[in-house]
Chains A and B, each alone.
Chain A
Amino acid sequence: MIEWFTWVQVVVAVVAGIVCVVACFAKRQPDDITVGTGAVVLLLLLVQLVVAIVAPFVGNAPTGNLVEFYIYLVSAILLPPLATVWALVDRTRWSNLVLATSSFAIAVMVYRMFQIWTVQGL
């Protein structure tokens, strides 16, 4: 994992979650903005997937358990699409809170992935 990119990812996911919480409190339906924040979070996760595949070959090997790492990464990648389907089915403002939950969970999961990669095996 690349440290600065990981932190960017965590911050973006937290900001995405906050935007969705605000949208819920503002009584807005899920729209392009809130679903879009989920899409950005997903895009960064896909970049992270590529980074994770390439990194061990360029001298950036994980210290921790790679199976656990990928369970986190794959689970995280599943979340934005599921939350988006939810937002398309349930057209109430509460879907924004579901989108926020997904992004906050991903922020925590990325941090956990970073721990597995950098400190778990030390």
Chain B
Amino acid sequence: MVTQKSTRAVGLGRVLIAVYALLALAATGRSVFQIATQFSEAPLAYTLSALSAVVYIVATVALIGRGQGWYAVAWATISFELAGVLIIGLVTVLDPELFPHDTVWSFFGRGYGFVPLVLPVLGILWLRRQGRVARAVDASGVDGAGADGVGAGGVPRDPGTTR
């Protein structure tokens, strides 16, 4: 069985997933509105909005999903989000003219209470922890389910806990 401490971590992980789902909903809602009503004004910014919405949805699913495939997808999407919010955030601060129309990442996610900036960092910390737990379980002799060299991420997630 899991200890009290890891129960708390698992619980907070679920809250993280819920917040991801919320951000996915927010980004999708804004993107649908922008594309439905004013796409021609800023095709690039609004395509970016739609892309970020899709990435948030995939990241949410990947965090819920099990196995190393989803684990890799979670790493990829969350890293993409962090890169996106940092790059677009920096561009909008340095040269607001370049992106005059709002995206979820503009000004480091200011329109969303900076949640888009904080969330990928928490997500990466969570994934790193998941990887450590899996390696610890591997080392203690439990079946590692054949990691195929995806690097530090190439281990099954969350093997020792029950839902």
Contact = CB atoms under 8 A, between A and B. Distances in A.
Interface in B104-149: 113
Contacts of B26: 75, 105
Interface in A67-90: 67-68, 71-72, 75, 78-79, 82-83, 86, 90
A17 to B, nearest CB: 13
Contact of A71 (B19, B33, B113): B33
Contact of B11 (A72, A78, A94, A108): A94
A67 B15 contact: no
B11 A67 contact: no
A101 interface: yes
A67 B33 contact: yes
Interface in A7-41: none
B29 A86 contact: no
Interface of A: 65, 67-68, 71-72, 75, 78-79, 82-83, 86, 90, 92-95, 97-98, 101-102, 105, 108
A72 B29 contact: yes
B37 A86 contact: no
B14 A90 contact: yes
B19 A101 contact: yes
21 contacts: A65-B33, A71-B33, A72-B29, A75-B25, A75-B26, A78-B25, A79-B25, A86-B18, A90-B14, A92-B11, A92-B14, A94-B12, A94-B14, A97-B11, A97-B15, A97-B18, A101-B15, A101-B19, A101-B22, A102-B22, A108-B113
A67 B22 contact: no
B29 A98 contact: no
Nearest to A83: B18
Contacts of B19: 101
Query: Which of B15, B18, B19, B25 neighbours the largest number of chain A CB atoms within 10 Å of its CB?
Result: B18
B111 to A, nearest CB: 10
A95 B25 CA distance: 19
Contacts of A86: 18
Given A86-B18, A101-B15, 4 more contacts: A65-B37, A68-B33, A78-B25, A97-B18
A68 B21 CA distance: 20
A96 B7 CA distance: 15
Given A75-B26, A105-B22, A108-B113, A98 B15 contact: yes
A108 B113 CA distance: 10
